[in-house]
Structure 1
Amino acid sequence: MSRPVLIGVQIQPQHAPRYDLIRDAVRRSEDMGVDAVFNFDHFFPVNGNPDGETFECWTMLAAIAEQTERVRLGALVTGGGYRNPDLLADMARTVDHISGGRLVLGIGSGWFQRDYDEYGYDFGTPGQRLAQLKENLARIEARMKKLNPPPLRKIPILIGGGGEKKTLRLVAEYADVWHTFANVAVLERKAKILAEHCAAVGRDLMTIQRSVDWPGAADATTLVEAGVTLFRLSCSGPDYDLSEVEGALRWRDKQTG
């Protein structure tokens, strides 16, 4: 299955004292030609001043869906323990309708303990969070079939993580996009394990898109050869500097001729 190489920018909703700074970054990103705009699902900054400004993920996604016309959009990634999964399915369906069918439902098991502790969620153990993610994915899938009006199409699921026994099994069972943090050697090893999980559940490995963080143009070319077709770059407030994104887009355009 041949896929185009895509560039996504994660506009992190942190260290921005006003939402218009984020709105402007989204506008500039779409005008530059990025393929996807992501945010993240944290209630506090994940770097820099830990008590700095932050905005909530899903209300922002609805605004991005209304503001944009072309780009895919989604959370990279929704914290799996923050929301009732049936409600999350409804939220995703609604944002997808607002966008005209451009949402990617990114979800993971969660890792930032402060988010859980300060908002009253049970952090638990890594194993418990992965078990909850498995249950949530099944409930999201079931709820999508009951919503009225239904989703515009099957909303793609993006799962973030690289755990070989549990996370990659969930990728094989549910994901359309797999986002991981890996160099070529690690990616190729994990891809072999993912292929084993896909075989066990009767899934074609090639139906799962591979996504990684942008490593620079030289390494990106090698990763494309290893099957990666989506690269994520990140920028943070208050400046939302997109200069690195410009370079990645020039590289992408050379790949497509």
Structure 2
Amino acid sequence: MDLRIFTEPQQGASYDTLLSVAKATEELGFDAFFRSDHYLHMGGDGLPGPTDAWITLAGLARETRRIRLGTLMTAGTFRLPGVLAIQVAQVDQMSGGRVELGLGAGWYEAEHTAYGIPFPKEKLARLEEQLDIVTGLWATKAGETFDFHGKFYDLTDSPALPKPAQTKIPVLVGGLGTTRTPRIAARYADEFNIPFASVEDTASQFGRVRAAAEEAGRGADDLVYSAVLVAAVGRDEAEIARRAAAIGREVDELRANGLAGSPAEVVDKIGRYAEAGASRIYFQILDLDDLDHLELISSEVQSQLA
């Protein structure tokens, strides 16, 4: 079971804070550091303000050496697909080939309004074209050109440069849509991610994606299946309660819907997600100043799952 750290910097985090968490992620043996791609907080004041996902990851690419770096999920509404392909390829080069791209349709209308970003209606149809373009640009051989003529985007004689350091940058698709989402994942994804879902709903959605992959002519096991859940782990009830309170949540609710409780409880729950088909878990860490939380997860949860 791969364990990864996932952060939500729009809730309030500077680059220096994110760097501290990323370095702790690397030093403590976690597989990867991922972050959200949002420009507006969801509760609280959001101070000191948002940081851009790919600018952050570019910085971390030069200041880390081992961990994978990526997004859950880059908002398709924020960037033109050709520009995004250039950005991600460059950060992959800067990291020595450690980048992964989670790409979603975009959903938080308020942040679009706040920063003057268009919020189109046909987001899933646009996402499919975006995935086609980004992956197509990367796959085009050097010296050849890439063309795409869709409903929303039109590329002609693109040199399809720069190329990533990796032969294939892993692409993540996620969500709980029961029909179109599995089909999109089956066509484009190397990893399928379920956000904040129960074990039962996770198993059902994984099943839909596996079936869609086989219908598309892929092996169901060609994809990695992962889940992201909020974390509040403690050595005793007082520590669990303190970590829940720090992120404005109730312990009982987190025990039901996240990875909360003692290390033994969390290991047991991860086991249930493994039975549902997950081979990778993203711990959503909301209190980014609590690096002792990461140390506890590393020493008493990750050590049991290695």
| TM-score normalised by the chain length of structure 1 | 0.89
Residue 177 (structure 2) aligned to one of 143, 163, 179? 163
CA distance in 1, matches of 2:305, 2:81: 38
Matched letter for residue 279 of structure 2 = T
Per-residue CA shift, 1:191-233, capped at 9, x if unaligned?
A: 2211221122111111111111243322111111222111112
Alignment partner of 1:180: what SS?
strand
| TM-score normalised by the chain length of structure 2 | 0.76
CA distance in 1, matches of 2:289, 2:282: 15
Q: Indicate conservation of the 8 Å contact 1:45/1:52, yes or no.
A: no
Query: Cα RMSD over matched residues?
Result: 1.9
Q: Which residue of 2 aligns with 1:198?
A: 213
With a CA cutoff of 8 Å and minimum separation of 6, indicate the structure with the bigger relative contact order.
Answer: 1
Residue 24 (structure 2) aligned to one of 24, 28, 46? 28
Q: Which residue of 2 aligns with 1:89?
A: 85
* Shift of residue 51, structure 1, vs aligned partner: 6.6
Change (3 A) 1:221 1:19: same
* Shift of residue 25, structure 1, vs aligned partner: 1.8
Residue-pair matches, total: 249
Identity across matched positions, percent = 29
Change (3 A) 1:42 1:149: closer
Q: Which residue of 1 aligns with 2:254?
A: none
Matched, 1:144 2:138: yes
Change (3 A) 1:96 1:12: same
Q: Which residue of 2 aligns with 1:184?
A: 199
- Higher radius of gyration, 1 or 2: 2
* Shift of residue 50, structure 1, vs aligned partner: 5.2
CA distance in 2, matches of 1:231, 1:63: 24
Change (3 A) 1:247 1:221: farther
CA distance in 2, matches of 1:149, 1:111: 29
Q: Which residue of 2 aligns with 1:119?
A: 115
CA distance in 2, matches of 1:19, 1:199: 42
Matched, 1:10 2:6: yes
Matched letter for residue 206 of structure 2 = A
Q: Which residue of 1 aligns with 2:123?
A: 129
Structure 1 unmatched runs, 5+: none
Q: Which residue of 2 aligns with 1:211?
A: 226
Alignment partner of 1:162: what SS?
coil
Alignment partner of 1:158: what SS?
strand
Per-residue CA shift, 1:163-210, capped at 9, x if unaligned?
A: 111111111111111111322211221122112211221111111111
* Shift of residue 70, structure 1, vs aligned partner: 0.5
Matched, 1:103 2:99: yes
